[in-house]
Chains A and B, each alone.
Chain A
Amino acid sequence: MQFSFFHLMPWTGLDEAPSEWPAPNAGFDGERGTQLYETYISTMAHAEACGFDWVGANEHHYSPYSIMSNCNLIGAALTQRTSDIKIAMLGNLLPLLNPVRVAEEYAMLDVMSGGRLVAGFVRGIPHEYISYNIPPDESRTRMREALNIILKAWTEPEPFGWEGEHYQYRAISIWPKPRQKPHPLMLLSASSEESADFVGAFPAMVGLTLISDLDVAAKIIDAYRASARAHGREVGPQDILIGQQTCICETDEEAQERLGEAAAYFHRVLMRPQQDAQRIILQKTRFFGDENQSAYFQKRLQTIKGRTIKEQIEAGSILCGSPESVVRQIRRLRDKLGAGRINMNMKIGTMPDEVVMRGMELFRDRVLPHVRDL
């Protein structure tokens, strides 16, 4: 199996949850921000010494939930601090962005890193569409069209133009092109059988996160496999990435206590401002194909939030415990979902950075030796 160390870069200095979205930024402290970036980037670079195969980051806007509005900037910093680990952008919120710019920035990262880019593309969580004034109703059609433009921008041998529904370019010829051929490893996210069917149509791995039920996740993965097969591609464990909040300590009790405290800040403070915007989008648009999917999205979040740490472990939503327990939990994900990659998010809410670092080292010394060959 392969493992990714993921960082969300949360803002940890808030005493109270912002009451509205966007979260007012008058209290942002630039000096503290600089310190957080240094700590977070150093932690991410340390993943290489801890045996992780990827180091991952993603993009969010207008919220203390994450201070990473462009993960490609963090990826660029990591190309200069690491030498072998893959730089996994998980990913750019493609329907919000200029696809040619994304193709260019990913190509730069791939060349700067010596061909270590994992190019992730996500449709994102609904409220992000307000941030960049993109109609949520167009998210799927923009995603599909933009992915095709990027694949062309990376692989076409000659300059070309594009006349599409959402995007028009009279000429495209990016410099640099990616180092990996025919193009960088790609990953798309799926949260439903419908979106898994979409992912399978592209030469891409699939990523699942916020798992509330392993049986539902297994069906989504089955839909991905079937779609890939229908498009002439057999996918295996190496094509399936499962995202998990992760806390590894010396004992189960310590890990559960640590995660419980940190997750309380995550849910109470960091997730709070999004809720208003999320509600508007879900009520007023067709971001999800139908009401069942919209209801499932909301239920999934509420289900995980409402569960105790032990219940989340049992449901397969998180990895939490002693190294020995986490080995068992990883084996279960491998067996139940056929997943060959796990994406571990260890900096949850107010989790102390030294606990994160210690968890990374416990992973290297006492977890990885038992799961690498699965």
Chain B
Amino acid sequence: MNDATKRALLWIGADAPALRGALDQEYHVLAGAADVDALVAQIAGEPGGRLDVIATGDGAACALALAAAAPERVGHMVLLAPRLASAPTPVEARALVLVGAADRAGSETGRALKSALPHCHLTYVWGAGADLAAEASGRAIAIVSDFLARGEAFLVRQAG
């Protein structure tokens, strides 16, 4: 698959090399700025259609702001071990929120997101803590890939 046929994926927040490495095969990964206006300008330069967003840690707030500012451009959103300074405001984009099962602060944020976003899937990752994004275990990689590929249908386990 060449870059021209890959779907665009915007990355916001600290890097998670293992996860990015796994997604590089399928997605054209853009590094995102920390400022929403700059992000909107950046994705305006991308070819049409929706692009997906992955945000790690503090990048979650930026991803939510982007989804609110440019709802027509944001497809699926993945928030890894999200950290928010204030209560989330609802956005229409479908979100997967991954939280380490041992991450107590992350659990609070995850619940707040699940409660606030109308299309949100909250998943705890066994064996992970607050460093979920950096570690990006095989479990996390598998569910992120599946969600990006199948959207809400990732709820349904496939045969084989």
Contacts and interface: CB of A to CB of B under 8 A. Distances in A.
Interface of A: 19-20, 129-130, 133-138, 277, 280-281, 283-285
B46 to A, nearest CB: 28
A138 B156 CA distance: 12
B30 to A, nearest CB: 29
Contacts of A133: 157
Interface string B117-160: 01000000000000000000000000000000010110111111
Query: Which DSSP category, helix, strand, loop or mixed, fits chain A's interface?
Result: helix
A134 B157 contact: yes
25 contacts: A19-B118, A20-B118, A129-B157, A130-B155, A130-B156, A130-B157, A133-B157, A134-B157, A135-B156, A135-B157, A135-B158, A135-B159, A135-B160, A136-B156, A137-B158, A138-B159, A277-B155, A280-B152, A280-B155, A281-B156, A283-B153, A284-B150, A284-B153, A284-B156, A285-B156
- With most chain A CB atoms within 10 A of its CB, the pick from B152, B153, B157, B158 is B157
A22 B153 CA distance: 14
A129 B157 CA distance: 8
A283 B153 CA distance: 9
Contacts of A135: 156-160
A280 B158 contact: no
Nearest to B119: A20
Contacts of B158: 135, 137
A283 B156 CA distance: 11
B119 to A, nearest CB: 8
A191 B54 CA distance: 43
Interface string B43-77: 00000000000000000000000000000000000
Contacts of B152: 280
A138 B159 CA distance: 6
Nearest to A138: B159
A283 B155 CA distance: 13
- With most chain A CB atoms within 10 A of its CB, the pick from B118, B155, B158 is B155
A97 to B, nearest CB: 15
A19 B90 CA distance: 15
Nearest to B160: A135
Contacts of A281: 156
A129 to B, nearest CB: 7
